[in-house]
Structure 1
Amino acid sequence: MVDRLAAQIIKFRWLIIIASLAIVFFIASGASNIGFSSNYRVFFSEDNEQLVAFETLQNTYSKSDNIFVVLAPKDGEVFTVPTLNAVKDLTDRAWQLPYSTRVDSITNFQYTKAEEDDLLVNDLVEFPDEADLDEIKRIALSEPLLESRLISKQAHVTAVNTTVQLPQLTEQEIPELVAQARVMIAQFEEDYPHLDVYITGSVMLGNAFSESAQDDLANLFPVMFVIIIFTLLLLLRSFTGTAVTLVVIIMSIVSAMGMFGWLGWTLTGPSTSAPTVIMTMAVADCVHILVTFLFNMRHGMLKAEAMQEAIRINFQPVFITSITTVVGFMTLNFSEVPPFRDLGNTVAMGVVAAFFLSVFLLPALVMVLPVKEKKQADKAHKGLDAIANFVINKRRQILIGTGLVTIAIFSAIPLNMINDDFVGYFKQSVEFRKDTDFTAENLSGIYTIEYSLVAGESGEISNPKFLQQVEAFSQWLEAREEVVHVDTITEIFKRLNKNMHADDESYFRLPESQDLAAQYLLLYEMSLPYGLDLNNQLNVDKSSIKLTVVLNNIPSYKTLALEKDIAEWLETNTDITEFYAASPNIMFSHIGERNVMSMVSGVSYALILICIIMVIVLRSVKLGLVSLIPNLIPIGAAFGLWGIFNGNVGISVGTATGMVLGIVVDDTVHFLSKYRRARREKGYTSEQAVQYAFATVGTALWVTTFVLVAGFMVLALSNFNMNAHMGIFTATTITLALIFDFIALPAILLKLEEKTAGKQGTENILTSTPN
């Protein structure tokens, strides 16, 4: 059947070329619908528990999406007239940004004081004057709502926080807002050269995802393209072979991205790596067919005969490897992170396209293009022959050595821990990362947990018992080493109580009467200017409050542990029964852990399916099970090495496991198919079959491995660490898989042959078929 198919491909080559171009052109037209997402919420499903809680929090209180601008005077002192004037000016400018609903700074902080029987509420800094600087500094540094939030303890940096309410109608809202913010900051820096300016916040986080994605497409794809061209020219030694491979690569990519567009998906950080991954996967199919074709021509076959034989020999293994690769990438649908599902589905579509184009279009193109290959002795296999002979002669030592090394590396797997850091998703060269790191080191933690605490019925937040419990909760939090700052409404109640008692410091405590507390709060709210109300801390009917916990830069597993401790403390020490936690930090911490658990299920299903496929293809249950050894050990070894050199298993590494499983199976399939062909069709001994497998598929395996490793290592150059870590982990696993397939797999096969021969005589597991 395959012989007939190969003959038809060669016969109708022009029809295949025209039809392929037409179909791919139509599919590729969908790419015009592709856009970029700048919203970090795309990393979560709509029904994600933490996202739902976060959206509920945002709808209950004011939105917390923000642009956080940090100002660092070059003289190291915030409380000078020029710097305070600059802060005041930036505060005014920030109000002009699109979607801004609130701007907070030390200059417009609503400072309260008593004047006879009146409560005065004014900006802390109205008109900076040298005579007032010491008093302003004293107030700011003693105010819990400012210190370590908008002003550093050393008074060497300060910040202006702009809260925005995005309509979330188009994907362009964040890029346009960031563009205007950068224009504003550029002009501000010109006007105030004595200040260093750093910009961070959740809006900048979302924009960093989008910019990193676009940078990867613009920078990494061309690098990989050049690497592939030089690699193919060097290793295939054929201009025609290189040219047709590039055609297949490009058409596979545009087909997949066209379908991406037709399906209405948007590009995110992880999914932008799809073209680079598809490029490497498409090369593998092409190389296997071309290496066999060129091998045949160099050994005297005519062009048509050589291509027909190449299709016959490679159709089944290429088909099987395409299936296993698709299965591997489809496991990404088990991921808790939608962008990784998009990546898996997109690459799977690209792999399917690459299979059809490799089997149909590539041979057709080769047949119409000139191929000049002279009959010659094959010098390229000397090194592979040496490896084959080494394995044959040292099989026992290899098995013992491989076992010992495997045990040693596997022992490092427990060094890994689940940890996701959404700021750490970006390399330190990224502007957002640099500015955010500066903020964390000099002003305040960038990780928060926001709690909604329900007091009861309307107006119950003024209940002294509730306020006392919130105060105790705040004090317990501030004593934790993970906590930098706690922002709570109780500080305002204490300050108002002091103000209403003639600013007597002894009254800096919570009001003892609910009615009195409610009156203080009402009086205070009526005095607040537009945009600086308490809706960011209180709900509309004053039945619940929002308490914000600012954290140090701690691993995600510590964040989850803290969340658990907080829940237990509230249940044990308060009457507050209704509460929930929400924040981007909580969302990313939970999804990292849940993603690993989901991928374990996905990989398990993929493993079972791949095992069944291998059993069917190899026609042996025993050999099908044995074939999983060279596929699982490299993955385990990669985790061991990851534990030694990194140790943080985030979303990307956890997700890559299923993807890698589908890739590393490919080498095993090709090697075993050639080995089995030598035993069944040619009647070779097991030693001769090993040599035959190395001779026929060895070159293709190390060429495709080189290209795959190069492709995924190009991802390591990404400024987006999700892609970089996925690339490094995958490249490491593929390298280990080739080493295992070249060294350990033949030794295992030879050892199995020895045992089988001893039990069954001349019959062996490779030539026998199940009844």
Structure 2
Amino acid sequence: MNNYINFLDTYKYKIIVLITLFVALLSISLKDLAYEGSYKIWFDKESKIMKDYDNFRDTFSGDDSFIVAFKDEHGIFTKKAIDVILDLTSKLEMIDGVRRVNSLTNYQYISSEDDDIIVEDFIYESEELESKKTLALEDKLILHQLISEDAKTTMLAIRLSNETEADEEVNIFVMNQIQEILKPLELQTGYKFYLTGVPAITASLVTISQGDAMILMPLAVVIVVTFLFLIFRSVIGILVPSVVIILSFLTVVSIQILLGYKLNNFTVNIPSFVTAIAIADAMHLYLAWIYYKAKGLPNKEAVSIALKTNILPIALTSFTTAIGFASLGLSDIEPISTLGVAVTSGAIIAFLLSITIAPAILLTLGDGYKVKPIRFFNLLNTKGYGAFIVRNDKNIVLFFVVILGIIFYGLNFIKVDSNSIKYFDKDTVVRSGSEFIEKNLTGSMAYEIILDSKKRDGVKNPQFLNTIVKFENEFRAEFQNVRFTTSLKDIVVRMQKVLNPKAKDSIPKDQTLVAQYLLLYSMSLPQGMEINNQIDTTEQFLRLSINIDLVDTSKDLKMITWIKNWWQTNTPYSADVQGQTAIFAYMQSSVTDTLITSITVTLVIVAIVMFVIFKNLKMLWLFIFPNIAPILLVAGIMGYMKINIDLGVAISAAVILGIAVDDTIHFFSKYFDAIERMSFEETIDYIISHSGNAMILTTFILSFTFAIFGVSSFIPNVNFAIVTVSALNLALLLDLVLLPALLSLFYRKN
């Protein structure tokens, strides 16, 4: 170590310049920083879920539509409302990237005149609206899709062209264009327009991630610098930690960009995570340097002792933090995996910078440099604290056992659940739009069921079509949150009724007649409309769309399982459920796997490392308990409050374990250093005086850094902030109060 200190002292200026220059060169890649938010971010492109969904999109043109809705208290079938729909339909169709706008006015209404089938726009102009209203409320393909049951709310569906559906830039462009069209219309008409839909969700995810990048990271830096100034009141006190922080996150983000990664709503938090890790490393080294410098030691000796006494704890904390985040790299959810790997590298980089450029900067100071007394440093009165613990150890442990037992019981009520719309803050465009549509018109989510008739031209088979009717009836009876179902079967039924007014809503018994109906219908459609988004080219597969109310993913999975089982058990056919609602539902098992795997892997590896370092198997449980308990405590409280585990909470467990363990490592490293030459009471006093205040300060700063996520409009980030901040402070409390009490009982017994 002395040779290393001499090396740092000899080449301190070169080290500072070369490291800074290297990071500056890497940072040139920041000009290529980009964002993504489409469905593609959630899974690896080689995953079965993505392959199946992409196959669905290729076959049936996807499920991407912007939805615009509004309400007229006097009814939609008024001249004012219909003129707005006509005008809006025309303007929206002019936007680049828009393939088709489906609205009440251009709905292809099927009727007959003499022996001719007529398929035409439902409303050309705002006349004879009462008769149109009657027809609309009787038409299954209009009611609950284009108008509400009270005929006061309507919606327009804006379909994007196939080649641009998954393009985030196009989604954002189209969304901005739609909003530009709606703004003046709101002023002119007095209507409030609501916007949602899959492309709107994609655009919002990108916009939110960009906003978070512009706000969260600068805010984190400002908060950290402010606290450093309040604590240290010196330029060097701000400079050393800030250099480690800034160089760390610039390096990590630059490497991510060079590897071709884009930022999304999870990876946009990489800089904030790296900041939190870097500040913890730099703070312990800097506080130790101040401690020895204040004792009057020469500067080089103060740096040397600070580095010698802290390099092992910092290395261990960096390693355990890296393990916590690396465990996230095992997740099947791509953004979480990317986040885990990136922050793992950040933990390693922050450690390397903390033992190179940080001491190099300190070594540039002369022996005459005077350190200022640190504000808030003596937060704990260390004298007599060990004696207090020994006197009250049983009472302290009993108190915590009772409290922990009560809270742990809440774990019985916890469950993994979420839904995609509730990922957004209530004030965001897509969430308010979805909630308006669900309240006033129809369900805001949809399943796309791909039915396999098992043979070519099988979708025209009357038996197959009647099976769909039976399925729809039983599905509605089983699940009350189903709003409507629609497929090519409904066109066949409508054609049958138009050509045979006396016939009930039924399927023709002749397959040839079904084929003729579909041919007549498709030939009558205007340019830009077709039926190939309902059936595949072989006419073996048919698309059945089911519109449902917004439900949590656990209910989604229950419904999806029921659908697949029904078709497998009751028919010779089969069904697969696709669509982006289904993708989010399928992700739930990955969230659960992420939670379990990350905690298990982190806990096992950290326990092994601690045993290797401290070589004390009997005390291993004392090391593990204060770090796993905060996670269980927060989870128990969530159970009582009926807060579900979502993506943000799932990733927080490994993060909490990886970071909270830092305090325990510093605690035990000082414990084993002192217990051989001091009494137990003196050892506790020594731990608190040498690490306690640093533990409090770092937890304080980390809490504020992670609390910044609470201002995000992406709810998993908000939940992550709440859970992580709560758990880190609980971990600190357990380390400073319960752990010494447990150690006291253990020490007395052994």
TM-score strictly above 0.5? yes
2:721 is aligned to 727
SS in 1 for 2:543: strand
Q: Which residue of 2 aligns with 1:760?
A: none
Cα distance in 1 for partners of 2:668, 2:399 equals 22
Instruction: State the distance in 2 between where 1:727 and 1:422 align.
Output: 19
Name which of 543, 561, 567 aligns with 1:546: 543
The one-letter code of the counterpart of 2:532 is N
Separation (CA, whole Å) in 1 of partners of 2:106 and 2:622: 71
Moved more, 297-306 or 743-752: 297-306
The offset of 1:451, in angstroms, is 0.5
Match of 1:572 among 556, 569, 572: 569
**Structure 1 residues 733, 217: closer, same or farther in 2, change over 3 A?**
same
User: d(CA) in 2 for partners of 1:689 and 1:618?
Assistant: 16
Q: Which residue of 1 aligns with 2:55?
A: 56
Alignment equivalent of 1:289, drawn from 261, 285, 298: 285
CA distance in 1, matches of 2:535, 2:264: 35
The answer for the alignment partner of 2:743 in structure 1 is 749
Conserved 8 A contact 2:65-2:199: yes
| Structure 1 residues 601-649: Cα deviation after superposition (integer angstroms, max 9, x where no partner) | 2332222111111112212222234311111111111211222235211
| Displacement of 1:269 | 0.3
User: Match for 2:711 among 712, 717, 724?
Assistant: 717
Distance, in Å, in 1 between the alignment partners of 2:162 and 2:728 is 43
Would the alpha carbon gap of residues 289 and 428 (structure 1) be closer, same or farther in structure 2, given more than 3 Å must change?
Answer: same
Q: How far apart in 1 are the matches of 2:376 and 2:306? A: 17
Alignment pair present for 1:181 and 2:175: no
Counterparts of 1:473 and 1:408, CA distance in 2: 47
In structure 2, list runs of 5 or more residues that go unmatched.
none
The answer for the alignment partner of 1:592 in structure 2 is 588
> Is the contact made by 2:66 and 2:196 (CA closer than 8 Å) also made in structure 1?
yes
Alpha carbons of structure 1 residues 360 and 121: separation in structure 2 relative to 1, 3 Å: same
**Matched residue type, 2:304:** Q
1:113-136: CA deviation from partner (whole Å, max 9, x where unpaired): 12111111111101221xx11111
> RMSD across aligned C-alpha pairs, in angstroms?
2.0
Which residue matches 1:432? 430
Classify the secondary structure of the residue corresponding to 2:110: strand
Range 236-245 or range 153-162, more displaced = 236-245
Distance 2:454 2:225 in 1: 68
Q: Equivalents in 1 of 2:674, 2:509: separation in Å? A: 91
Q: Which amino acid aligns with 1:750?
A: S
1:417 match: secondary structure:
coil
Tell me the SS of whatever aligns to 1:269.
Answer: coil
Q: How does 1:264-413 map to 2 (within 5 A)?
A: 264-369=260-365, 371-373=369-371, 380=378, 382-385=380-383, 387-413=385-411
SS at the partner of 2:156? strand
Q: What's the secondary structure of 1:432's corresponding residue?
A: helix
Letter in 2 for 1:421: N
Q: Structure 1 646/707 Cα, relative in aligned 2: closer, same or farther at 3 Å?
A: farther
Say if 1:53 and 1:580, in contact at 8 Å, map to a contact too. Answer: no
Contact 1:297 1:375 in 2 (8 A): no
Q: How many Å separate the matches in 1 of 2:268 and 2:154?
A: 36
Structure 2 length-normalised TM: 0.96
SS in 1 for 2:484: strand
Deviation at 1:167, TM superposition (A): 2.6
- 1:705 aligned residue (688, 699, 703): 699
Contact 2:384 2:685 in 1 (8 A): no
Following superposition of structure 1 onto structure 2, how do residues 164-179 of structure 1 map, counting pairs within 5 Å? 164-167=160-163, 171-179=168-176
Confirm or deny that 1:660 pairs with 2:656.
Answer: yes
Per the TM alignment, residue 23 of structure 1 is displaced from its structure 2 partner at its CA by: 2.1
Asked whether the equivalents of residues 63 and 165 of structure 1 are also in contact (C-alpha less than 8 Å), the reply is no
What's 1:444 paired with? 442
Equivalent of residue 121 in structure 2, options 112, 120, 123: 123
Q: Cα deviations across residues 183-214 of structure 1 (Å, max 9, x unaligned)?
A: 33335445x42322111111110011111111
Tell me by how many angstroms 1:86 deviates. Answer: 1.4
Conservation of the 8 A alpha-carbon contact between 2:424 and 2:713: yes
Deviations 1:336-359 (A, max 9, x none): 211112211222222222111111
Q: What are the equivalent positions in structure 2 for 1:607-626 lying under 5 Å apart?
A: 607-626=603-622
Cα distance in structure 2, aligned partners of 1:549 and 1:521: 21
Give the structure 1 partner of residue 194 of structure 2. 198
- Which runs of no fewer than 5 residues in structure 1 stay unpaired? 757-771
Tell me which of 628, 650, 655 is aligned to 1:632: 628
Match of 1:507 in 2: 504
Does residue 552 of structure 2 align to residue 533 of structure 1? no
Query: Does residue 476 of structure 1 match 2:496?
Result: no
Residue 217 of structure 1 corresponds to: 213
Residue 21 (structure 1) aligns with: 20
Q: C-alpha distance in 2, partners of 1:549/1:490?
A: 13
Q: Distance in 2 between matches of 1:727 and 1:592?
A: 21
Asked if structure 2 preserves the Cα contact closer than 8 Å seen for 1:451 and 1:580, the reply is yes
Contact residue 64 and residue 164 of structure 1 kept, 8 A? no
Distance 2:376 2:116 in 1: 99
Q: Distance in 2 between matches of 1:548 and 1:382?
A: 63
Give the 3 Å change call, closer, same or farther, for CA 739–574 of structure 1 in structure 2: same
**Cα distance in 2 for residues equivalent to 1:522 and 1:166:** 24
For 2:602 and 2:732, locate their aligned partners in 1 and report how far apart those are by CA, in whole Å. 21
Letter aligned with residue 254 of structure 1: L
In the aligned structure 2, how far is the partner of 1:581 from the partner of 1:111? 29
Letter in 2 for 1:755: K
For 1:212 and 1:562, the matched residues in 2 are separated by 31
Distance 1:668 1:119 in 2: 79
- Would you say the 8 A contact 1:419–1:648 is kept in 2? yes
Of stretches 411-420 and 476-485 in structure 1, the one that deviates more from structure 2 is 476-485
Is 1:40 paired with 2:36? no
Does the CA-based 8 Å contact 2:563-2:575 persist in structure 1? no
**1:155 counterpart residue number:** 151
**Corresponding residue SS for 1:35:** coil
Residue in 1 that maps onto 2:419:
421
8 Å CA contact 2:594–2:651 kept in 1: the answer is no
8 Å contact 1:285–1:318 — kept in the other structure?
yes
Q: Is the 8 A contact 2:299 2:365 kept in 1?
A: no
Percent identical pairs in the alignment equals 26
Task: Tell me how far apart the structure 2 counterparts of residues 629 and 105 of structure 1 sit (CA, whole Å).
Answer: 60
- Kindly provide the CA deviation profile for residues 370-413 of structure 1, in whole angstroms up to 9, marking residues without a partner as x: 74226999982553446544323211111111122111111101
Taking a change above 3 Å as real, the CA distance of residues 259 and 644 of structure 1, as seen in their structure-2 partners, is: same
Following TM superposition, by how much is the alpha carbon of 1:301 offset from its aligned partner in structure 2, in angstroms?
2.2
Distance 1:11 1:440, change over 3 A: same
Provide the C-alpha distance between the structure 1 equivalents of 2:168 and 2:103, rounded to a whole number of angstroms.
29
For 2:420 and 2:588, how far apart are their aligned partners in 1? 10
Range moving further from structure 2, 739-748 or 157-166: 157-166
2:685 corresponds to: 691
Contact 1:450 1:548 in 2 (8 A): yes
Give the Cα–Cα distance (whole angstroms) in 1 for the partners of residues 374 and 570 of structure 2. 85
Taking the aligned partners of 1:166 and 1:324, their CA distance within structure 2 comes to: 46
Give the 3-state SS of the residue equivalent to 1:199 in structure 2. Answer: strand
Assess if the C-alpha contact under 8 Å between 1:291 and 1:699 holds in 2: no
C-alpha distance after superposition, 1:89-117 (max 9, x if no partner): 22222222223223211111111112111
Q: What amino acid does structure 1 have at the position aligned with 2:54? A: E
Deviation at 1:678, TM superposition (A): 1.1
Which residue among 639, 642, 645 is the counterpart of 2:638?
A: 642
Contact 2:95 2:174 in 1 (8 A): yes
The whole-number CA distance in structure 1 between the counterparts of 2:77 and 2:272 is 51
**Displacement, 1:76?**
4.1
Deviation for aligned residue 1:170 = 6.0
Tell me the SS of whatever aligns to 1:622: coil
Distance 1:666 1:64 in 2: 47
Give the SS at the match of 1:424: helix
SS in 1 for 2:342: helix
